[in-house]
């Protein structure tokens, strides 16, 4: 799956962005499929905005986000839904764990969305054990700590097929040991699918063997 940006500029940040240089905003670029990509930027400079544009849940921009050569705006709602089920997965900064469901139900909701689930229930248990959240799987989303929510959101993003995984500060609530474990799992799941990822964060890190670094 091809993702390209053509002179993408967020309308609310236009004046600020055009006053400085950026590897991403107002550029023409194609993310090479299968690449591990890090986008670094200080707080408040538009990481979440970019992630929302890539996943097509915000459209207040000029320029284009092209998916397989076509602007997001040309896709029907059902085509967008299919792409999100089969080709593009996401871990939001605000995690979006449903509080009225248990941790496991949050994961299952995504796993069984495809008639033929990509992952088995056993695989979910393995991932939960790897990220040390087995003991909270039957706890309601409301009572999970933010670190637990983040690990549940990571597993939820990994139970579906994808060619691109988009992650917005995915380790912000984790200690370094848990962050390393989660990074290893994500890298392994991307490799199995020959998928790439686009990860935003505040600082440099060496948790992944990144192919490309950008400054936002
Ligand atoms: N819908 C919106 N309309 C107008 N301005 C917005 C909107 N969403 C975010 N902003 C502003 O755009 C800027 C970038 O916000 P964004 O959340 O994308 O930054 P970020 O780099 O992800 O920040 P952080 O690292 O703090 O999470 C901020 O100044 C924010 O107040």
- Return the domain boundaries, the chain: 3-215
Residues facing 67 on adjacent strands = 3, 70
Question: pTM for the full model?
Answer: 0.95
CATH architecture of 3-215: 3-Layer(aba) Sandwich (3.40)
Ligand 1 pocket member 54 (CB < 6 A): no
Q: Ligand 1 centre and the CA of 78: distance in Å? A: 28
Nearest to 216 by CA among 89, 26, 71, 28: 26
Determine the atom of ligand 1 nearest the C-alpha atom of 41: 21
- Indicate the SS3 state at residue 3: strand
Centroid of chain to Cα 197? 7
Closest by CA to 128, choosing from 112, 146, 113, 108, is 108
> What's the average model confidence in pLDDT over 10-28?
93
User: CB of 44 closer than 6 A to ligand 1?
Assistant: yes
Residue 114 in this model has a pLDDT that exceeds 90: no
The confidence band for 20, taking pLDDT boundaries of 50, 70 and 90, is confident
Q: In the predicted model, is pLDDT for residue 153 greater than 90?
A: yes
pLDDT band at 113 (very low <50, low <70, confident <90, very high): confident
Task: Centre a 10 Å sphere on the Cβ of residue 97 and count the other Cβ atoms it contains.
Answer: 21
Q: What's residue 103's pLDDT?
A: 98
In the chain, the percentage of residues whose pLDDT exceeds 90 is 94
ipTM entry: 0.92
Distance 53 CA to ligand 1 centre (A): 12
Q: Ligand 1, closest atom to CA 46?
A: 18
- Measured by CA distance, the residue closest to atom 4 of ligand 1 is 12
pLDDT tens digits, one per residue of 25-72: 999 999 999 999 999 999 988 999 999 999 999 999 999 999 999 999
């Amino acid at each position: 799956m091809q993702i390209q940006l053509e002179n993408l500029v967020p309308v609310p940040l236009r004046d600020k962005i055009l006053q400085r240089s950026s590897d991403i905003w107002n550029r023409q670029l194609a993310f090479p499929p299968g690449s591990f990509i890090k986008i670094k930027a200080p707080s408040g400079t538009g990481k979440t905005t970019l992630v929302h544009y890539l996943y097509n849940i915000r459209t207040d921009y000029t320029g284009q986000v092209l998916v397989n050569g076509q602007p997001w705006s040309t896709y029907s709602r059902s085509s967008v839904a299919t792409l999100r089920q089969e080709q593009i997965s996401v871990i939001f900064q605000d995690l979006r764990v449903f509080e009225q469901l248990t941790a496991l139900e949050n994961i299952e909701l995504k796993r069984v969305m495809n008639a033929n689930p990509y992952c088995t229930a056993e695989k979910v248990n393995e991932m939960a054990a790897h990220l040390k959240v087995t003991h909270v799987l039957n706890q309601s989303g409301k009572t999970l700590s933010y670190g637990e929510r983040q690990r549940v959101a990571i597993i939820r993003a990994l139970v579906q097929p994808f060619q691109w995984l988009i992650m917005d500060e995915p380790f912000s609530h984790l200690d370094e040991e848990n962050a390393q474990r989660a990074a290893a799992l994500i890298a392994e799941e991307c490799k199995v699918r020959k998928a790439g990822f686009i990860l935003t964060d505040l600082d440099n890190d060496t948790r992944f063997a990144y192919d490309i670094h950008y400054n936002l």
